[in-house]
Structure 1
Amino acid sequence: MAVRGTSDLFGKELRLHQRIVATAREVLEAAGALELVTPLFEETQVFEKGVGAATDIVRKEMFTFQDRGGRSLTLRPEGTAAMVRAYLEHGMKVWPKPVRLWMAGPMFRAERPQKGRYRQFHQVNYEALGSESPILDAEAIALLHRCLRELGLKRLQVKLSSVGDAEDRARYNAYLKEVLTPHKEALSPDSKERLALNPMRILDSKSEADQALLREIGVRPMLDFLGEEARAHLLAVERHLTRLGVPYALEPTLVRGLDYYMRTAFEVHHPEIGAQSALGGGGRYDGLSELLGGPRVPGVGFAFGVERVALALEAEGFAPPEERGPDLYLIPLLEEAVAEAFYVAETLRPRLRVEYALTPRKPGKGVEEALRRGAAFAGFLGEEELKAGELTLKRLSTGEQVRLPYQQVAGFLLSALA
């Protein structure tokens, strides 16, 4: 029985997921990204150090366990820290810069399941490592936008901001503590904890009461606290996006939920999938590699949720194509023809999609089965066909029949199906 907050994938839903990942592969590999597959679990410290001990992910949402050797391991809650760990571990820092990587796979978070959000969910991640250039920030945003546009999504909203440098965030967190401490009792329990640990995270609160309080106080945005270098970086990203024709809007209140972000932060939203409308997002994280014990390696990247994108596609009326049935469904008409159907099927695969009945069928019953499976042709194997080494083919859409030697069947079907 499936664990609550997880789901099985098959049929149309699986094909839609596969299409989303295949489109991302095409877009990202065209930009030079190398596919990377990291383990489903890592040493817990990869996420405690990389994501941040004060984040909701580490404090509340990770699935952590001890192995038989007493080591603390965690199911992968996000991709970036794991990908940067792999970058450091495999010596990619000596590769030509930037190193572009991408990954697709399941992530795990112990959060409250809701539409489009599960405890096991799927993400596509992209990371570009080795350069501080704002060009790479703009490229990451453009690639995320292109992945979604190539899928056919039209109602996309790109939101851009900056969380500044470490000094900028320190000034902003001090300001937030000053203005919010007098209102501490009006904050949600989560935001009370964040006020002590990381006040910027209060801006990302899902509590309507918290958001109303922030509006009532008139909390200034992070953009007001940017230093000269961070501001110049943001302006450069804006300039590149404008030149590329990528539509975006500055969102002063945008913050990212992970501690490793600095400077550029961005999200892509779709208005048709509910209040939690973000499909994905990302930003710059120049200090993450140092948190993981490596040298300083600047980086920028993004992730998007496959389930979230699937919801957006459904909202815009996209329907995945029907599953393709077999090219040929073989129908043995007597017991000794069953094994022959198997042999014939094997000679035609994999050039053709071929299935067969495992017990003898009457012609009418066999055709009914072939139609239910969505076959293009039915192939009959009776006594005469066995003696002659031939197959009677019936095109199910027209009823047209032809009898051919085995060696001519593949050519005929390939030509007919083309």
Structure 2
Amino acid sequence: MALQRPKGTQDHLPGGSPKLSLDVSASAFRHVTDIAQRVLERAGAAFIATPIFEEAELVTRGVGGSTDIVRKEMFRVYYAGDHGGFVLRPEGTAGIVRAYIQNGLKQMPSPLKLWTHGPIFRAENVQKGRLRQFHQVDYEVIGSSDALVDAETIWLMVEVVRELGLSGVGVKLGSIGDPADRETYNGYLRGVFAPHVEQLSDDSRDRLTRNPMRILDSKSATDQGLIAELAVRPMLDFLGEDAAGHFGQVRAYLDAWGVAYEVDPSIVRGLDYYRRTAWELHHANIGAKSALGGGGRYDGLAAELGGPQTPGIGWAFGIERILIALEAEGIELPPSPGPLIYIAALDAEYVGLAAKAALSLRSQVRAEFGYKPQKPGNAFREGERRGAVYTALIGSDEAATDTLAVKHLGTGEQESVRLEELAGFLTPDS
């Protein structure tokens, strides 16, 4: 039997592949990252790339030992002489903050805006849009606690999906306060849930001791039913004066800029490093699991990783989730560009000339050639199949006069072009 790819992974296929949906299209992935790059770099973000595996301690300390990611979903990396001290990254922020500390990026202009994209690994139950290897676009701002930075960060996430053409999206905005606020809230939650501990799932019983806020993020229907039955008060009710003022400033900026959002008291976020502002981006047409991504402020993360106290905020969205939403809205992405010209030889002795002509153009345009001689009709059909704008032929007459017979496949116009003039003919404005 032929080998298969691992469960929960996908092959990203070239355009024109059979049974191609957006979430397995390599060109669709490229389109999303190109749009993100354009929007984020116009805002001053610089690209960063970190390893796809990190020390397990980085994830445990950064993400939080009480999270499902650390307790259930990490892929450990083993090699000769090692005993699983590394993990495939289950999210991007901790690695970026580690790189910021380790490489002295504090010396760069502050706040420092960074963005990246790449694979993320979690041992999740596989379903549509939930994979074990998935891909994210990630944006981080390190070095400022200003509410204006929060608002701009949210605006940029909305702007990326707007540039992609999505309309059925909405921001759910909340705040999880400062550490003291969270401690007060966790005390309240322990008091609420302790009398009903037998009704909680095994995971939530453990969270009741470690971090009760995680109960609110439980995937158990029984837990969620109990939360509703007990009418558990939201974190927003426990914000201190500073955190409440910060949240109000963020909202004021978003209101002034016309960014639509819904205040959602249930926003908790699944990672322990968050502080104050937290939000999720949802899409109305992709089912119950409608979150495309989310973000929040993480002012305590750098210190938790052994660096100086440094504020930060960021977001990530799943590229596969974005592509599912694009497909749900019927948005057609730009087709994969083909070569500007396809060059074919009519006889075997001229195949080398066709190759030489194509190679001479590649410093300026995408040019392809046929590796075997072709009849004119077959050459034109092959050029169309590849998405070329022009097809050029070289036969005995063209070889004798150092020319090519160049046909525009859209208009059908054909003319003879000298080899040394071909680049100028194809790119007249350059």
TM interval, shorter chain, is over 0.9
Q: Could you say which residue in structure 1 is the equivalent of 2:103?
A: 90
Matched, 1:205 2:205: no
Q: Could you say which residue in structure 2 is the equivalent of 1:7?
A: 10
Q: Give the CA deviation at 1:69.
A: 5.0
Q: Could you say which residue in structure 2 is the equivalent of 1:278?
A: 291
Of the structure 1 ranges 73-82 and 125-134, higher mean CA displacement relative to structure 2 is found in 125-134
- Alpha-carbon distance in structure 1 between the residues aligned to 2:187 and 2:291: 28
- Alpha-carbon distance in structure 2 between the residues aligned to 1:286 and 1:398: 60
One-letter amino acid of the counterpart of residue 106, structure 2: K
Counterpart among 325, 334, 338 of residue 325 in structure 1: 338
- Alpha-carbon distance in structure 1 between the residues aligned to 2:391 and 2:100: 52
Kindly indicate whether the alpha-carbon contact (under 8 Å) linking 1:67 and 1:73 is maintained by their aligned counterparts in 2: no
Q: Could you say which residue in structure 2 is the equivalent of 1:79?
A: 92
TM-score, normalised by the number of residues in structure 2? 0.92
What is the CA RMSD across the aligned residues, in angstroms?
Answer: 1.8
SS in 2 for 1:359: coil
Q: Give the CA deviation at 1:82.
A: 0.5
- Alpha-carbon distance in structure 2 between the residues aligned to 1:96 and 1:332: 56
Q: Give the CA deviation at 1:370.
A: 2.1
Q: Could you say which residue in structure 2 is the equivalent of 1:315?
A: 328
Q: Could you say which residue in structure 2 is the equivalent of 1:384?
A: 397
Matched, 1:152 2:153: no
Matched, 1:171 2:204: no
Is the alpha carbon distance of 1:226 and 1:355 closer, same or farther for their aligned partners in structure 2, counting shifts above 3 Å?
same
- Alpha-carbon distance in structure 2 between the residues aligned to 1:201 and 1:135: 28
Counterpart among 40, 50, 70 of residue 28 in structure 1: 40
Deviation string, structure 1 residues 100-137 (Cα, Å, up to 9, x no partner): 11111111111112111211111111111122211111
One-letter amino acid of the counterpart of residue 198, structure 1: N
Q: Give the CA deviation at 1:254.
A: 0.8
Kindly indicate whether the alpha-carbon contact (under 8 Å) linking 1:52 and 1:259 is maintained by their aligned counterparts in 2: yes
Counterpart among 184, 189, 197 of residue 197 in structure 2: 184
1:257-296 matched pairs, under 5 angstroms: 257-296=270-309
- Alpha-carbon distance in structure 2 between the residues aligned to 1:252 and 1:151: 29
TM-score, normalised by the number of residues in structure 1? 0.95
Q: Could you say which residue in structure 2 is the equivalent of 1:400?
A: 413
Q: Could you say which residue in structure 1 is the equivalent of 2:66?
A: 54
SS in 2 for 1:111: coil
One-letter amino acid of the counterpart of residue 153, structure 1: L
Counterpart among 289, 296, 303 of residue 316 in structure 2: 303
- Alpha-carbon distance in structure 2 between the residues aligned to 1:115 and 1:316: 17
Counterpart among 220, 227, 248 of residue 261 in structure 2: 248
- Alpha-carbon distance in structure 1 between the residues aligned to 2:163 and 2:391: 37
SS in 2 for 1:202: helix
Matched, 1:410 2:423: yes
Deviation string, structure 1 residues 264-304 (Cα, Å, up to 9, x no partner): 11111111111111111111111111110111111111111
Counterpart among 361, 372, 388 of residue 374 in structure 2: 361
- Alpha-carbon distance in structure 2 between the residues aligned to 1:63 and 1:265: 27
Is the alpha carbon distance of 1:150 and 1:70 closer, same or farther for their aligned partners in structure 2, counting shifts above 3 Å?
same
Q: Give the CA deviation at 1:11.
A: 3.0
Counting aligned pairs with the same residue, the percent is: 50
SS in 1 for 2:254: helix
Moved over 4 A (4+): none
Is the alpha carbon distance of 1:362 and 1:210 closer, same or farther for their aligned partners in structure 2, counting shifts above 3 Å?
same
Of the structure 1 ranges 196-205 and 82-91, higher mean CA displacement relative to structure 2 is found in 196-205
SS in 2 for 1:393: strand
SS in 1 for 2:190: helix
SS in 2 for 1:392: strand
Q: Give the CA deviation at 1:158.
A: 0.8
Matched, 1:238 2:231: no
- Alpha-carbon distance in structure 2 between the residues aligned to 1:168 and 1:254: 15
One-letter amino acid of the counterpart of residue 206, structure 1: K
Counterpart among 40, 50, 54 of residue 42 in structure 1: 54
Kindly indicate whether the alpha-carbon contact (under 8 Å) linking 1:102 and 1:124 is maintained by their aligned counterparts in 2: yes
Q: Could you say which residue in structure 1 is the equivalent of 2:20?
A: none
One-letter amino acid of the counterpart of residue 310, structure 1: L
SS in 2 for 1:347: helix
Q: Give the CA deviation at 1:405.
A: 1.8
Is the alpha carbon distance of 1:131 and 1:401 closer, same or farther for their aligned partners in structure 2, counting shifts above 3 Å?
closer
SS in 2 for 1:11: coil
Could you tell me which runs of 5 or more consecutive residues in structure 2 were left unpaired when the two chains were aligned: 16-24
- Alpha-carbon distance in structure 2 between the residues aligned to 1:129 and 1:85: 12
- Alpha-carbon distance in structure 2 between the residues aligned to 1:141 and 1:397: 43
Counterpart among 322, 340, 348 of residue 353 in structure 2: 340
Kindly indicate whether the alpha-carbon contact (under 8 Å) linking 1:331 and 1:366 is maintained by their aligned counterparts in 2: yes
SS in 2 for 1:161: strand
Count of residue correspondences: 417
SS in 2 for 1:342: helix
